[in-house]
């Protein structure tokens, strides 16, 4: 696993600003990854299906959590994996997580998942990460996903029909305002998979879309 040496770039700056200024809420916390990582109505059904999937493999999977955030989700999944590798681009957040969360099968890395080599493993968890990125950045990530057998992808997408993959600037909101959302099977990403299965869906209030979790088997 190789980390490239480079100057700071806009997405990293944007993510640092989000946590520094508590733009996702949680002013009482040092780091807070938003209601999507803390609201029990959202996370409890999600955890139930992810734990069931990991247990169905007898806890033998090496899981790579890309964009682990404040680790409120990951801390509840670690014991169901052979190894749990948690990655985020915000260095201060990763250092904080290393201090708070410790297990024999748990590792934290500060990596830029667009530019850096990703850890090896069996299963990728990408939870509401791609939705914040430009199409070019998502393309760079999806090119790496064929190395993993399973992808568990969660995205905030519109209700009903929508035009997938309208482009945005990384770190500048998500596509929902354009009645769009990320679909990694569609152009320009066109990820090749063996099969897919919807694991969980949470419909937000006031027509603000839905949070959809899908399992993809790549090979």
What is the per-residue pLDDT across 38-58, written as a single tens digit (0 to 9) for each? 889 999 999 999 999 999 999
Residue 23 has pLDDT above 60, yes or no: no
**Can you give the C-alpha Rg of the chain in angstroms?**
16
* In a domain? residue 111: yes
**Any domain includes 4:** no
The reply to whether 91 falls in a domain is: yes
Q: Which residue has the higher pLDDT, 12 or 52?
A: 52
Backbone angles phi, psi at 49, to 5 degrees: -75, -35
* CATH number (domain holding residue 116): 3.40.50.150
Euclidean distance between CA atoms 100 and 120, whole angstroms: 24
5 occurs within a structural domain: no
Instruction: Confirm whether 1 is domain-assigned.
Output: no
Residue at 68 is within a domain: yes
Q: pLDDT tens digits for 105-150?
A: 999 999 999 999 999 999 999 999 999 999 999 999 999 999 999 9
Mean pLDDT of the chain: 90
Number of structural domains found in the chain: 1
Coil, strand or helix: which one is 75? helix
Binned at pLDDT 50, 70 and 90, residue 2 comes out as: low
In a domain, 2, yes or no: no
CB 120 within 8 A of CB 98: no
Range of the domain at 209: 10-217
The answer to whether residue 186 scores a pLDDT higher than 80 is yes
- Note whether residue 3 is domain-resident: no
């Amino acid at each position: 696993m190789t980390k490239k040496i480079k100057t700071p770039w806009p997405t990293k700056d944007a993510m640092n600003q989000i946590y520094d200024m508590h733009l996702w809420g949680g002013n009482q916390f040092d780091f807070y990854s938003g209601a999507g990582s803390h609201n029990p109505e959202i996370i409890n059904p999600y955890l139930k299906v992810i734990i069931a999937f990991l247990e169905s493999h007898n806890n033998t999977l090496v899981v790579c959590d890309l964009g682990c955030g404040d680790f409120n989700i990951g801390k509840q999944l670690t014991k169901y994996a052979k190894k749990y590798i948690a990655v985020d681009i915000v260095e201060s957040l990763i250092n904080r997580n290393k201090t708070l969360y410790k297990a024999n099968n748990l590792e934290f890395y500060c990596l830029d998942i667009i530019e850096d080599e990703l850890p090896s493993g069996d299963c990728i968890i990408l939870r509401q990460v791609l939705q914040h990125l430009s199409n070019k950045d998502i393309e760079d990530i999806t090119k790496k996903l064929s190395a993993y057998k399973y992808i568990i992808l969660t995205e905030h997408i519109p209700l009903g029909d929508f035009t997938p993959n309208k482009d945005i600037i990384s770190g500048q909101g998500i596509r929902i305002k354009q009645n769009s959302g990320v679909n990694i099977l569609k152009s320009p990403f066109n990820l090749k998979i063996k099969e897919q299965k919807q694991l969980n869906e949470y419909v937000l209030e006031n027509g603000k879309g839905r949070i959809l979790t899908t399992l993809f088997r790549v090979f």
